[in-house]
Amino acid sequence: MNKTGFIGLGIMGRPMARNLMKAGYPLVVYDINPDAVKELVNDGAEAAWSSAGVAAQCDVVITMLPNSPDVRDAVLGPAGVIEGIKPGSVIIDMSSIAPLVSREIAEKLLAKDVIMLDAPVSGGEPKAIEGTLAIMVGGPEDTFNRVKDILSVMGASVKLVGDTGSGNIAKLANQIIVALNIAAIGEAMTLATKAGVDPEKVYQAIRGGLAGSTALDAKMPLILDGNFKPGFRIELHIKDLINALDTTKQLDVPGILTEEVLGIMEWLKADGKGKDDHGGLIQYYEEAAKVQVRKRS
């Protein structure tokens, strides 16, 4: 089996890379954090010491990085993927970045006879560990079919959305819906608690109806325990909502609710909670209402 490259071994990249190794894919890995590289080497991966070094050894290279500038630098910058990649190779960028940046990078790679897919994910660290992420892909269908088996190791849902950049458009839509859903949970459950009603019983009463959602079931048990350990950090969701609003402005689409929730998240970050899970958004409402939405003994 040919080697697969993996660049970016953070909170999401580490478990995604491990799942590939468990499935039998030989990995060459790189991260700017040498400790993260050593951790994956201990699990059986081979280390490279630059993005170019990864690309020189692999026909398929996966990137999983925080934001647009990080991907641009890792792919197009000094010692970047573009300096080591072979013609005919595929880059799968699984980061959540601005769609126009995806298209810009893809165009520069195409000049080297390299195809890039944008394939951002949803599900956070728990689903990254389980290998059950939702993966939204943009790019040529024949290239998608070539690497679908690799993506299926990391995701339970792997869907081709359209041309390059479409995966990140789908991810922005996802992040808007998730952010607004979590904000609605915070607002509603703070109201119930302030009114003297047990929020856990409210949750159980409404989860089977139209108000029920994956976000409600994923976040409400953690909220009730006061557990805001990050699966997906508020500061990263801020980045996604800023990308979403930049895109809405470019396309002349209203982003009214997105702007409101972004403001709440930025308030929480300024209050020192940027590294909390995005389910911790409820803390804004709790602070305003002077109550805590927690399980009752």
pLDDT of res. 124: 86
- Residue 227: φ, ψ to 5°: -100, 105
Cα dihedral sign, 29-33-34-35: negative
Q: Is the pLDDT of residue 291 over 90?
A: yes
Burial level of 225, CB count in 10 A (0-12/13-18/19+)?
exposed
Cα separation, 215 vs 163, in Å, equals 28
**Mean pLDDT score, 1-19:** 95
Q: 213 is written with which tokens?
A: 């959602």
**Average pLDDT score over the chain:** 96
Cα separation, 59 vs 66, in Å, equals 23
Cα separation, 218 vs 231, in Å, equals 11
Lowest mean pLDDT among 23-27, 129-133, 232-236: 232-236
**Mean pLDDT score, 30-40:** 97
Q: Are residues 35 and 19 in contact, defined by beta-carbon separation less than 8 angstroms?
A: no
Length of the chain: 297
**Mean pLDDT score, 217-237:** 94
- Residue 90: φ, ψ to 5°: -125, 135
pLDDT of res. 165: 93
Q: 288 is written with which tokens?
A: 């305003």
Residue 184: pLDDT band by 50, 70, 90 thresholds?
A: very high
Active site residue 219: no
Q: Report the candidate in 159, 161, 210 with the shortest Cα–Cα distance to residue 188.
A: 210
CA distances from 76 to 80, 195, 198, 223 (A): 5, 55, 53, 41
Residue 191: pLDDT band by 50, 70, 90 thresholds?
A: very high
CA distances from 7 to 10, 82, 180 (A): 10, 13, 31
Catalytic residue among 127, 171, 219, 273: 171
pLDDT of res. 231: 82
Q: Is the pLDDT of residue 155 over 90?
A: yes
Q: Is the pLDDT of residue 171 over 80?
A: yes
* Pick among 1.10.3720.10, 3.40.50.720, 3.10.580.10, 3.40.250.10: CATH of 4-163: 3.40.50.720
Give CA 61 to chain center in angstroms. 18
Q: Is the pLDDT of residue 283 over 80?
A: yes
Task: Give 129's contacts (C-beta < 8 A, 6+ positions apart).
Answer: 15
Helical residues (DSSP H) of the chain, grouped into ranges: 13-22, 34-42, 51-57, 68-76, 81-84, 99-110, 124-130, 141-154, 166-194, 199-206, 214-224, 234-251, 256-268, 282-289
- 169-289: CATH topology is N-(1-d-carboxylethyl)-l-norvaline Dehydrogenase; domain 2 (1.10.1040)
Q: 9 is written with which tokens?
A: 């071994």
pLDDT of res. 258: 98
pLDDT of res. 16: 98
pLDDT of res. 89: 97
Domain borders along the chain are 4-163, 169-289
pLDDT of res. 266: 98
CB atoms within 10 A of CB 42: 8
pLDDT of res. 88: 97
Q: Is 63 helix (H, G, I), strand (E, B) or coil?
A: strand
**Mean pLDDT score, 251-274:** 98
